[in-house]
Chains A and B, each alone.
Chain A
């Protein structure tokens, strides 16, 4: 019966999906209705009667939702003001919703964006050192040429996010699913990736020397022309992964490729064949 209430509210609130204050109103309302339903049941009402009476207690919610939604649109617009070139050191943006926010060339060192919805925001050429992006939605965000030293990206949403030409020294990506993200021309030697899934990620021209990518999943990922000396893919899963060297296979690139460790990795046939062809040691891999 609680599912029935939840479904009813989901339908009612569907047009306003994604507006934070409306989602909050929905949660508040749901817990009220559940309590009322429980009380009616305890009074001895049958399921259907209790459900009808519970729905009847809602009243004209459409108007209230509309009011709340309008209020939150104007708040979101306020957040949308241009933060470009501002000094926002250690600012608190936790949980905000700032679609298309502009933070270009800003000083955001140590800023807190935990849980924020920053879809389509731009952080180009900003100082974002030590910033916290845990659980933030970074879909379509651009961080190109930014300083992301020691930034934290635990469980953030990383869809089409662009982090090219940036400094990611000490940055932490933990439990992140990176989809079609761009990490090109970036020095990743001191960056940590743990328990991540890389889907269609582009590492072209990036420096990954000595990186540990153990146990993670790579699907349709491009490592073209990346520096890959001593990278470890122990126990990783690689499907349709590309390691092109560009126009010609230079001796230097061959040597680098041979230092990659694939022990215990699972490779699909295509990835296996291409790596085999360039002389990788694939003695301890499983072909899937």
Chain B
């Protein structure tokens, strides 16, 4: 992990959207989500387990994702998360909002 970990509220505010993005590619389990985020950001953003599960519960309650038991050949059973149609729509809309905000901020800052 890099020394200058950015754990600002700005990034954390987009946790839901990051998870939706990952799940729009494939179904994944908890640790996989945290790991991919660390890998993709080259260690710049480390999503904590607590933040991830809190986000996952929220997405689940909103009907953006759902879970099922995977059938692991070895070790305990894992909970896999899957994006719903509603979740894909939420992702698209969040992504649009971000593109818009980015454009405006680029002008203003």
Contacts and interface: CB of A to CB of B under 8 A. Distances in A.
Interface of A: 25, 27-29, 31-33, 35-36, 57-61, 63-64, 67-68, 71
Contacts of B51: 59-60, 64
B50 interface: yes
Interface size class of B (residues with CB under 8 A): 10 to 19
Interface stretch (B71-79, B82-90, B93-101): B71-79
Interface of B (DSSP majority class)? helix
B48 A59 contact: yes
Contact of B49 (A32, A63, A68): A32
B34 interface: yes
A32 B35 CA distance: 10
Contacts of A32: 29-31, 34, 49
Given A28-B79, A71-B57, A63 B50 contact: yes
Contact of B50 (A31, A35, A36, A60): A60
A29 B54 CA distance: 12
Contacts of B53: 25, 28-29, 64, 68
Contact of A35 (B31, B46, B48, B61): B31
Nearest to B31: A32
Contacts of A67: 54, 57
Interface in B22-69: 29-31, 34-35, 46, 48-51, 53-54, 57, 61
11 contacts: A31-B76, A31-B78, A32-B31, A32-B34, A57-B49, A59-B48, A59-B49, A60-B51, A63-B50, A64-B53, A64-B57
A64 B54 contact: yes
A58 B51 CA distance: 8
Nearest to B58: A67
B34 to A, nearest CB: 7
